[in-house]
Chain A
Amino acid sequence: GAVVSQHPSRVICKSGTSVKIECRSLDFQATTMFWYRQFPKQSLMLMATSNEGSKATYEQGVEKDKFLINHASLTLSTLTVTSAHPEDSSFYICSATPPAGAVEAFFGQGTRLTVV
């Protein structure tokens, strides 16, 4: 099946720094990718929809200036957590769906962000 690769899988950063997380569709083009966030013992919550060549669509309550999303190509979307704080520590997961009538969404392996 299709593969979505997320990098890094784990990152620790200091408060106030920025962290970039990459999401790549390895064997298909994805005009749309999704970024989810998962707090401990909670469900996956959609943060934003990343659209290739246009601005991302953010869910209510998600700060677009803090979580910068860039979908520069059909196989790469990046999420940058700017000026990270400890409360940004979470598990971030991206997903993408192949075009042309595909139904299944494929997920990256997730990124565990710890802000110290």
Chain B
Amino acid sequence: AQRVTQPEKLLSVFKGAPVELKCNYSYSGSPELFWYVQYSRQRLQLLLRHISRESIKGFTADLNKGETSFHLKKPFAQEEDSAMYYCALRPGNNAGNMLTFGGGTRLMVKP
């Protein structure tokens, strides 16, 4: 069975500081990894996925299969980045498979 671990429940940084939200996973096959974000009083929404190798809102995440990690990074945090961030894994490449979520990390960006 797959598992996703986000070791930090809360991460607090000052505006302009770099931020890294950690995510480690365990899965025997080839996973798809995602980062979802939930802003205050809004629904969960996709931030980025590893297969597209894109940068969204200044965030990037690289899948490191050797370390089984998918850490989310941003060089200069902004106050509007404050939100709950969830790392998620989906087995294989079937969109019909369910997502397994990490415990989530609350990011607080202080002015």
Interface residues of A (CB under 8 A from B): 31-32, 34, 36, 41-46, 49, 93, 95, 97, 99, 101-105, 107-110
Contacts and interface: CB of A to CB of B under 8 A. Distances in A.
Q: Is the interface of A mostly helix, strand, loop or mixed?
A: loop
Given A44-B86, A97-B95, A105 B100 contact: no
Contacts of A93: 43-44
Interface string B53-86: 0000000000000000000000000000000001
21 contacts: A32-B96, A41-B9, A43-B86, A43-B104, A44-B86, A44-B99, A46-B98, A46-B99, A46-B100, A93-B43, A97-B96, A101-B95, A103-B49, A104-B49, A105-B46, A105-B95, A107-B36, A107-B44, A108-B43, A109-B42, A110-B43
B20 interface: no
Contacts, number: 48
A94 to B, nearest CB: 10
Given A34-B98, A34-B99, A102-B95, 18 more contacts: A32-B96, A36-B101, A41-B9, A43-B86, A43-B103, A44-B44, A45-B101, A97-B95, A99-B95, A103-B49, A104-B46, A104-B49, A105-B46, A105-B95, A105-B99, A107-B36, A107-B43, A107-B44
